[in-house]
Amino acid sequence: MLYRAVQTVAIARNFPPPDGHIRWDPDAAMDVAHDFLDGERGRKRIADLAIRATDDGSLERLLYAAVLNFHRDRSRRTDIGALIRRVGDVLHRSDLFQEAAASPSRWHLRGAPAAPSTARQHALARAAAQEPQLAVPRWESERRRAPQADFDTFERLIRRVLKAAHGSLTAAQIALALSARLDPRRLPLTVELDVLERLPDRSADAQTEDQVLGRLHSAEVFDRLSDRERILIATWEKPVRDLGAVLGVGHSQAATLRQNLAVRLAGELAGDRGPEIVVTELRALATEWMRERTAGHGTAFTEQR
């Protein structure tokens, strides 16, 4: 069941095969499945499945959800690693940035303070999100990773982040801030609003500690959202071209609103142990809220706070 889940989810979601494999054949699935089981985290995954599964059907559903999250973690580490290397290359080549005397290396704008920045990660991500122009080079290679943006774009993005930092940052901190702007579908810090799996048993005695805390956190976040933001979360799977009609704004403004909300949620969940639980519960709250609202009063909303 595990081998099948690893292979099926990977192919359906277009995750890259592991190093040393060119396609998702049985050997590739077996290698990744063994990584899924390996170490302390692997033991916790199996323990969680054993605790939460109530029959064969729920075990399979839970296993597929766990494998999906595992694939996402693998892909995220690969993507972020490549982005960190690219950011490091730009930092070294550009005349706009200066390396501070620290270990690990930290960077700041020339003439700006070299002390470590105390800015929050969501503030840095918001600064990157405000860059209006992204230029992506044409790419035809099937063997190498396509660049996410050209050198000038990276330079502008890094400059915005370091300006907001008011101090120095590591290449990894900068890359994390850039990731939402370069590809808002792949949010930093494991926040992905397309996690639609529901917890099979919502009773209190069937939930792990992370699930209970995640539900409490999701309720706190939901209470702070405006009506417009709740609508965005409830309709997250809709194409941008359809969001304008739902929100009563233009397509480009709808895209900006959704991207800004993604960056905000990334900051909100930066230190959460189970962000995928919070996101799943937040989506459920928003969907139920919108169902009740449209049934009673239409889709009117308050302005974003």
Is 99 domain-assigned? Answer: yes
Both 67 and 119 in a single domain? no
Both 147 and 116 in a single domain? yes
User: What six digits make up the tokens of 252?
Assistant: 């480009």
Instruction: Give the integer Cα–Cα distance in Å for 244 and 73.
Output: 32
Count of domains forming the chain: 3
Is 161 domain-assigned? Answer: yes
Both 111 and 70 in a single domain? no
pLDDT (tens digit, 0 to 9) for every residue of the chain, 305 residues total?
A: 999 999 988 887 767 788 778 788 899 999 999 999 998 888 888 988 888 888 888 888 889 888 988 887 777 666 667 788 888 889 999 999 999 877 678 999 999 999 999 988 778 888 888 887 776 555 443 444 445 578 888 999 999 999 999 999 988 889 888 876 775 444 332 333 333 333 333 443 334 555 667 777 788 888 888 888 888 888 776 776 677 677 777 767 777 787 788 877 877 776 666 677 788 788 888 888 888 876 654 444 444 44
Is 87 domain-assigned? Answer: no
Q: Which residues contact 57 (CB under 8 A, 6 or more apart)?
A: none
CB 153 within 8 A of CB 160: no
Is 138 domain-assigned? Answer: yes
Range of the domain at 57: 2-76
Is 81 domain-assigned? Answer: no
* 100 phi and psi angles, rounded to 5 deg: -85, 155
What is the DSSP secondary structure assignment for residue 204, as one 8-state letter? G
Amino acid making up residue 71: H
Both 111 and 155 in a single domain? yes
Is 269 domain-assigned? Answer: yes
Task: Specify the pLDDT at position 144.
Answer: 41
Both 159 and 215 in a single domain? no
Both 125 and 172 in a single domain? yes
**Angle CA(52)–CA(57)–CA(199) in degrees, nearest 5?**
45
Final residue of a domain: which of 148, 183, 218? 183
Is 55 domain-assigned? Answer: yes
Q: Is 277 helix (H, G, I), strand (E, B) or coil?
A: helix
Both 47 and 104 in a single domain? no
Is 162 domain-assigned? Answer: yes
